[in-house]
Structure formats: structure tokens, C-alpha cells
Amino acid sequence: MAETDQTRIAQQFIEAIPHARALGMRVDALGEGSATISMPWAEHLVGDPRSGVVHGGVVSALMDTSCGAAVMSHPSGPSSTATIDLRIDYMRSATKGQRITARAECYHMTRTVAFVRAVALDEDEANPVAAATGAFTVER
């Protein structure tokens, strides 16, 4: 299957998730055990009204979704996945008005558990906004 087809199918998958749709998430790329998903800045997602920076929870939702997508795109073909744990390090505030992109990679897979890491970026790609590591269940 061509990669663009796979990305299109992943986008349909994302749009079937009410919360991902509510946040306006878009699948930018999908590889073998990796996923890049982004979403726009929005006024109602602001967590600090003084600076207009989006709430950490929004970054969590984007990270969690991209990590889950990375697990689902793994060549071993899991049938479903769920988050066991997710740790997020907030390195700096995402810039007001800029799109946030999460790149996730499933770096190790066992029969039952997937180990995933991710970074969240705004337009200044050299300076990550946040980093995440997580463990996910794998259903076969």
C-alpha cells in the first residue's frame, strides 16, 4: 500500500475519534511504527491566559494520540492498543498561535507491550516543546 493511502486511512481513523476531531488533529505522516500528528493553536485551549500558551493537557492528548498511532502502525500489526503509562517532560511553552506537531516512534515491541517515545514541536523545530515516553498495551 502506498504511504499516502496509509496516511489517508490513518486520517479517517483519527476523525472517528471524537476527541481528536474536537482538537482538530491531522495525520501528517505515518511510517512503520512511527507517526506524526499535528493540531492548530486555538483560543479555547489556552491554559495560561497571561501568555496565551495552550494547556499542558492539550500537549498530553496530542502526544498520547501520536504514540497510539505509532503502535498501531507497527509492522507486526496490533489489533488495538491502550496507554499503560505516559510521562511528559515540559521543556518550554509552545508559542502562541503556532501549530503543534508530535512525532512518535515505537522503539521496541514485545508480544504484549509497546515502548514508545515522542517529541512535541512548534515552528521552532530545533527546540522541542515537550518530550514523552510511554508503555502501551498490545492486543493481537
Stretch that binds another protein, among 2-10, 26-34, 44-52, 115-123 (CB under 8 A): 44-52
CB-nearer residue toward another protein: 3 or 19: 19
| 30 sits near another protein (criterion: CB under 8 A) | no
Range list of H helices, the chain: 3-15, 18-22, 56-72
Q: What is the CA radius of gyration of the chain?
A: 15
CA distance 21 to 19: 5
| 139 sits near another protein (criterion: CB under 8 A) | no
| 119 sits near another protein (criterion: CB under 8 A) | no
**Distance between alpha carbon 45 and the CA centroid of its chain, in Å?**
16
Phi first, then psi, for residue 26 (nearest 5°) are -135, 135
One residue of 12, 16, 110, 139 binding another protein per CB under 8 A: 16
**Which residues are at the interface with another protein (CB under 8 A)?**
16-22, 43-50, 54-58, 60-65, 68, 80, 82-90
